[in-house]
Structure 1
C-alpha cells in the first residue's frame, strides 16, 4: 500500500489544488512550445497529459516540476512559487520520473532506489530508509534485481528501477513522464496500478501517456494538449471524444464503449486488393 502524504505535507500543499500553473508560456530555441497554459493538479487524483508528438507534454511536466523555467507565467505550490523553493525542499515535495534514465556509473539497483531517500538525509524520516527502499523495490517488481548493476538491466528493468526510486522518495506530488514506454503488458498494468494506488492514498499524480485507452482506464482527469495549448481538461468520458481526438491527432479515431470501458482506436484504410 502506498504511504499517504504526511499530515504536514497535506497542510502545506492544501486539499484541492496543491499545484497551480497559470499563464505558462515556454519558448525553446526561439520556437514557442507552450502558450498560456493554465492547469491545476489536485491531491487524491491521477491527472494524465495526452497529445500528439510535439504537443508540449514533457515540457509542461518539466515546468510543473520546477526543472523547466517558463518565460511567462507562474507555478505555485500552495501559493508559493516553485522557483523560490530550495532544491532540498522541492525534492521533499515532489518526485520526478524523467522520460530518459541515464546512469553511467555501475550502481546496484538497490543503491539507485536508495537515491530517492537523499532528500530526507539528516531528518527523522531517514530512520525509515531501509523499510521504504525495500517496499519500493517490491512494489516495482525489482526486488529480485537488487544486487544487479544498473547498466546491465534491460530498458524495462531500468524503467521499473527508476519508478522504485520515485516511490522511495515519498512525496505528496509525483510526476511521471511516459512511465510505461519501455514496459511489457504486465508491467504496464503494474505501473499504472501503482500510480492509481498513490492517488487513492491521497497523493497528486501527473503522468504523460501516449496510450489513450490506458489514459481512459486509469485517469481521474485527462488534459489534452495540442500545439502547446490546452484543448480540454476533464473526466476521460468528457474529454476523450472521437471528434476532439481526431482533430488533435490529425487522424480519424474511434472511441468505443466496451462494457463500460473506453477504447480509442485508429481508423485504418482497407488495403488495396492484390493484382
Structure 2
C-alpha cells in the first residue's frame, strides 16, 4: 500500500483503563498528508486516545479502524509495518547502543526485501534527528533529550505510513524541538499521516494542520489552528483565561498571569470597595 491508501478512523470510541472511563464517544479521521496535534489539559485522555489509534488499547465501545480493518484484528507484524509509535517515556533499561535502539525500528521489515536498506535507513534516520554522534553510546547513559531524539530516530527508521508521537518535544531544548517537529511536518509533506500529543499550544499552532482539543475524555474541538485555538475555547477547556496573539502570522497563546504578590492594606481596601 502507498501512504495515500491509509485512513485511520475512530467512530464513537469510548475507552476504559483499570475499570475507569477515560474516553467518551470520540469520532475523528486521520488521513495522509496532515499533522494532527492532540492538545488538552492533564488527564484529558490524550495518551489513551493515541493508544487506541495504535491498537494498544481496544475501545470499550465504538470502532477504531486502520484501512477499514478494526485495529485489534491486525496481525502484529503487519501493523508494525503500517504504524510506528513514540511513547511518552523511554523505558529501555538494558545497555543497548543508541544505534541498536534505532535499528529496532527495522525489525518489522526482517526477512523482506526492505531489509536490504537497513543500514542506509538507520544512518539517515540518525542524521535527521542529530544523534549520529551518539551511535556508540549506551542508551541508559543518554540524557532525557538524547533518549527522546534516539527514539524518534527509531520511529523514522520504521518507515510507516502512520506515525504516532506522544509528547515528542517534552525533554528537548528549543533547537531540537523545532528540529523534531520540522521532521514531523516533513513526514506529513511526504504523504505520511502524523498525530502528535503536544502540550505547548503555540508550538501546536505553528506546526499542525489540524488541532484536536480533548477535555474530560471528549473531543471538544477539531479543526484548523486558527479556528480551534481561540480564547473562548481554550479558556473553557483549561479553566484559565488566555490571550491568543497573531505574531507575524503565527499564533501565540499566552495564559493570563495569576497575581500572587501580597497586597498592601491600601490595595485590599481598594479591592473591597470595588467588590461592594
Which of the five TM-score ranges fits, normalised by the shorter chain? Answer: over 0.9
**Which residue does the alignment assign to 2:171?**
182
Q: Are residue 98 (structure 1) and residue 87 (structure 2) matched?
A: yes
Find 1:250's aligned residue among 226, 231, 239: 239
Question: Structure 2, unaligned stretches of length 5 or more?
Answer: 265-276
**C-alpha contact (below 8 Å) 2:92/2:139 kept by paired residues:** yes
Q: What is the CA–CA distance in structure 2 between the aligned matches of 1:32 and 1:160, rounded to whole Å?
A: 33
1:205 aligned counterpart, secondary structure: strand
2:2 aligned counterpart, secondary structure: helix
How far is 1:43 from its partner? Answer: 0.2
How far is 1:218 from its partner? Answer: 0.3
Q: Are residue 158 (structure 1) and residue 151 (structure 2) matched?
A: no
**Which residue does the alignment assign to 1:195?**
184
Q: Are residue 82 (structure 1) and residue 76 (structure 2) matched?
A: no
How far is 1:12 from its partner? Answer: 4.3
Instruction: Return the TM-score normalized by structure 2.
Output: 0.93
**Which residue does the alignment assign to 1:4?**
none
Question: Structure 1, unaligned stretches of length 5 or more?
Answer: 1-7
**Which residue does the alignment assign to 2:254?**
265
How far is 1:95 from its partner? Answer: 0.2
2:26 aligned counterpart, secondary structure: strand
Q: What is the CA–CA distance in structure 1 between the aligned matches of 2:77 and 2:5, rounded to whole Å?
A: 16
State the aligned residue count.
Answer: 264
Q: What is the CA–CA distance in structure 1 between the aligned matches of 2:192 and 2:18, rounded to whole Å?
A: 35
Q: What is the CA–CA distance in structure 2 between the aligned matches of 1:271 and 1:21, rounded to whole Å?
A: 43
How far is 1:74 from its partner? Answer: 1.1
Find 2:2's aligned residue among 6, 9, 13: 9
CA RMSD of superposed structures (Å)? 1.1
Q: What is the CA–CA distance in structure 2 between the aligned matches of 1:116 and 1:263, rounded to whole Å?
A: 35
Q: What is the CA–CA distance in structure 1 between the aligned matches of 2:138 and 2:40, rounded to whole Å?
A: 35
1:73 aligned counterpart, secondary structure: strand
Q: What is the CA–CA distance in structure 2 between the aligned matches of 1:130 and 1:31, rounded to whole Å?
A: 44
Q: Are residue 217 (structure 1) and residue 194 (structure 2) matched?
A: no
Q: What is the CA–CA distance in structure 2 between the aligned matches of 1:258 and 1:10, rounded to whole Å?
A: 34
Find 1:171's aligned residue among 150, 160, 163: 160
Q: What is the CA–CA distance in structure 2 between the aligned matches of 1:271 and 1:256, rounded to whole Å?
A: 24
1:34 aligned counterpart, secondary structure: strand
Q: What is the CA–CA distance in structure 2 between the aligned matches of 1:188 and 1:39, rounded to whole Å?
A: 27
Tell me which stretches of 4 or more aligned residues in structure 1 moved more than 3 Å: 269-275
